[in-house]
């Protein structure tokens, strides 16, 4: 009996290790693809690249969520009354008067980079997030806690999850780009290294990750 349980435990640990490896590969590929736009947005608007990349990884499940795949929405932004762009309806956390789950309206984009730019506009032009821009852009921990305090997410552990992702994948290195042309240099370097533009972000066949609640 002990031997059987030992084998079961070994198999479980092996599956967990494989899942962790796939998750890590997805994260590395994602950051490689979108670090340039995150740096560019940081230079233009003052939002730490580490925070933007960390939020995108967390909110989009490393780019694998249904919302990310079908609407290019990597930050879980809902439509709001003033939204005039494309829309995508997806069940999330909205209920009708009878308590029945209904589809929520999410913003939809032509490309992921548009989602990154709109995320910047969302934080910049909402009075709710005004205090964030008083925080030093190199203080990712304060930014993570500030996002929660401003109401970006209802998950009480959101700051810890965001900080964990930032530290796990060393995203603060992207906060150190200090010249406006650096983001373009990063992108050009990747293109020269590959001798071609980055390939589309692909998900391993059969690999499914959960979805995150949106805003």
In a domain, 87, yes or no: no
Q: What are phi and psi of 103, to 5 degrees?
A: -75, 135
In a domain, 45, yes or no: yes
In a domain, 204, yes or no: no
Q: Domain tally for the chain?
A: 1
In a domain, 96, yes or no: no
**Rounded CA separation 125/213 (Å):** 22
CB atoms within 10 A of CB 201: 17
**98-139 confidence digits (pLDDT tens):** 888 888 999 999 999 999 999 999 999 999 999 999 999 899
Residue numbers of the domain that contains 23: 2-68+110-194
**44-80 confidence digits (pLDDT tens):** 999 999 999 999 999 999 999 999 999 999 999 999 8
CATH number of the domain within which 183 lies: 1.10.530.10
Smallest CA-to-CA distance from 90 within 209, 205, 211, 201 is with 211
In a domain, 202, yes or no: no
pTM for the full predicted model: 0.75
In a domain, 135, yes or no: yes
């Amino acid at each position: 009996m002990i031997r059987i349980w030992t084998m079961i435990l070994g198999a479980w640990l092996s599956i967990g290790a494989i899942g962790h490896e796939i998750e890590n590969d997805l994260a590395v590929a994602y950051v490689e693809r979108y670090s340039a736009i995150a740096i560019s947005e940081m230079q233009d608007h003052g939002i730490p690249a580490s925070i933007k990349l960390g939020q995108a990884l967390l909110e989009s499940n490393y780019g694998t969520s249904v919302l990310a795949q079908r609407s290019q929405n990597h930050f879980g932004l809902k439509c709001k009354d003033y939204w005039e762009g494309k829309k995508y309806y997806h069940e999330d956390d909205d209920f009708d008067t009878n308590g029945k789950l209904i589809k929520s309206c999410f913003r939809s984009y032509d490309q992921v980079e548009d989602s990154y730019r709109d995320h910047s506009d969302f934080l910049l032009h909402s009075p709710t997030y005004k205090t964030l821009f008083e925080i030093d852009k190199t203080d990712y921990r304060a930014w993570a806690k500030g996002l929660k305090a401003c109401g970006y997410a209802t998950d009480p552990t959101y700051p810890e999850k965001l900080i964990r992702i930032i530290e796990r994948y060393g995203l603060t290195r992207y906060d150190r780009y200090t010249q406006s042309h650096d983001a373009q240099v990063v992108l050009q370097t990747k293109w020269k290294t590959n001798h071609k533009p980055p390939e589309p972000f692909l998900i391993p066949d059969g690999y499914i990750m959960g979805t995150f609640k949106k805003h």
